[in-house]
Chain A
Amino acid sequence: MKTIRLGAATGWSRDKFDAAEDLVEHGNIHYLCFDSMSEITMSAAQVSKIEKPNLPGYDPYLESRMTPILKSCHEKGIKIITNSGWLDPVGAAQKVAEIAKKMGLHNLKVAAVSGGILTETIADMGLDFMEHGEPISSCRDKIVSAEVYLGAKGIVEALEAGADIVITTRVGDGCVYLGPLAYEFKWDFSDYDAIAKGMIIGHLMECGAQVSGGYFADPGYKDVPNLHDVGNPIAEVTEDQIFITKNPHKGGVVSTETCKEQLLYEIQDPSHYYLPDVVADLTKVAFKQVEKNRVEVIIDDGAGLPETDTYKALIGLKEGYMAEEMAVFAGPGAMERAELTKTILNESFKKLNLNASEIRMDYLGLNAIHRESSPASGHIPYEVILRVAIKTETKDEAEKLRIAIDPLAVNGPAGTGKWGSIGGSRVRPIIGLNSALVPKKDVPYEVTIIDLKSTITQ
């Protein structure tokens, strides 16, 4: 029976990479898959491109991640699937081809899956924002980015064309796993149970170590061995069975508990998980610990519901500026001095006529994380950090926070310490994200193949 082993290289754009190298060397895997994005990745990349047009539009980590694994993957026949193409998957594929060539690897096909970037067109598509129903055209001048989450069909086509490495633009995160599975098991995209199975595997794997002990440890309640050396997960898939496991010599844990946490991670209605190629019913999933660090994923029939006729798009909007500062206090009276500083700052804001749409002042260690839901503290803290953040329409308004707080170095309460003492602007632009549903028929995708063999003979 055919068994396919997929390894998770990373869970997001700035994840560590040593676990991926370990999977390549010792994981006995057929595919190394990685999600190299988060929700804000594409809008941030568009902003960088505007500021520095010469920067590549793909993941800046691409070269440093591909270089250590390309040769080994090629020798072992491990195929690589990643969404590190960001705004420029073709450019990313060319870059990888160039690296491979330099290494003397010539028998290699690198594919790019592009499409779905709607920055220039989305305001004219007659669509509304999902959040508040306003027409997207009303924000035309604020749009800096817009892209859909494509499905896995482009990845399958690339693999059918013989690609060894597939680099995509934004796809549903789990698609980097569904793609190779649909290709290997020849799943039809109208077989929704099969496609849902692929996406459930993808969902469990897409955040890397989050299913193998990361984002999980709570000493005395949920202990994780050697978290500092956590191994990334491996999905072992046959036509009938699915297992999640990891390399035994690495740290971390794969248990029914880690799998359950990851199954519900970032989910709204578990019975209707909307994905580009299918709607998955996660209430039909169960887990069984079959051995240490090896969990069987059991998916009942009927977990796949028909796909919708839309893709979800993320739209990045210019929304003004924010600034953040902190003042630090310790020892006797720390709390009182932090509170006095808050009063001083509020008076300074009045003098400066600060026009801020939001102002937030929290005491780190007391109420900055759970904010107004923080339980009352029963003790006097030894240290207090006053953290101030403001949101404004213009950059000049946001600069007023620095103007108000920097003088406290000499005219604030006794023992006022300062965070971020380097001078200059500490204001940053806000790119807010909204979403919309875009008819699939209006969003084509394209597969480009770079064949190193033919580029040599030409």
Chain B
Amino acid sequence: MLVKLREVAHARSGEKGDLSNISVIAYNEEDYEIIKNQVTVEAVRKLYGPITKGDIIRYEVPRIGALNFVLHGILEGGRSRTLAFDESGKALSSLMLTMDIEVSDTYIPRSAKMQALKGAN
């Protein structure tokens, strides 16, 4: 079945000059293979391509089940000189979480897990 990346992983964005980094971290380290196979540079370019002037680079961090994307030229010159409303790109990570991800039909999405946990408490 298809779920949003938000059900599999969390993300945080940061800035350095005119680039943003967006980490994608599997909630469960055993799901690293899912994000590694599906959250590719091509898939990320589909989302961020229209606002990324430079390269999109992916780094793998298997020890913590994470990927780190670096998007060059996404901040229209960087926080110090950009006309973008979100000048530091801190809100950019949420776009990543809209990506469609294929998981097995028995996969329990994060929101369902959290809901169950709440019920149990």
Q: Which of B15, B65, B85 contacts A364 (CB 8 A)?
A: B85
A-contacting residues, B1-16, CB 8 Å: 6, 10, 12, 14-16
Surface stretch bound by B, among A68-76, A84-92, A387-395, A447-455: A387-395
Interface string of A280-302 (1 = CB under 8 A from B): 00111111000000000000000
B-contacting residues, A376-396, CB 8 Å: 387, 389-391
The number of chain B residues with a CB under 8 A from chain A is 48
Contacts of B90 in A (CB 8 A): 215
Task: Please indicate which of the listed interface residues B57, B63, B90, B91 has the most CB atoms of chain A within 10 Å of its own CB.
Answer: B63
Q: Which of B17, B47, B64, B111 contacts A373 (CB 8 A)?
A: B47
Interface string of B51-80 (1 = CB under 8 A from A): 100000101011111101010000011111
Say whether A371 faces chain B, with CB atoms less than 8 Å apart: yes
Question: Once the chains bind, are A218 and B91 in contact (CB under 8 Å)?
Answer: no
Contacts of B16 in A (CB 8 A): 39, 266, 268
Say whether A270 faces chain B, with CB atoms less than 8 Å apart: yes
Say whether A322 faces chain B, with CB atoms less than 8 Å apart: yes
Question: Once the chains bind, are B14 and A266 in contact (CB under 8 Å)?
Answer: yes
Q: Which of A218, A269, A285, A360 contacts B84 (CB 8 A)?
A: A360
CB distance from B71 to the nearest CB of A (A): 10
Question: Once the chains bind, are A370 and B95 in contact (CB under 8 Å)?
Answer: yes
Say whether A43 faces chain B, with CB atoms less than 8 Å apart: yes
Say whether B43 faces chain A, with CB atoms less than 8 Å apart: no
Say whether A442 faces chain B, with CB atoms less than 8 Å apart: no
Question: Once the chains bind, are A369 and B86 in contact (CB under 8 Å)?
Answer: yes
User: Measuring CB to CB, which residues of chain A are less than 8 angstroms from any residue of chain B?
Assistant: 39-40, 43, 131, 215-216, 218, 220-223, 256-257, 260-271, 282-287, 316, 319, 322, 324, 358-360, 362, 364, 368-373, 375, 387, 389-391, 430-435
Q: List 16 A-B contacts (CB under 8 A).
A: A257-B10, A261-B12, A261-B23, A263-B64, A267-B68, A268-B16, A268-B19, A268-B70, A286-B63, A287-B64, A358-B76, A360-B83, A364-B85, A389-B85, A432-B78, A433-B79
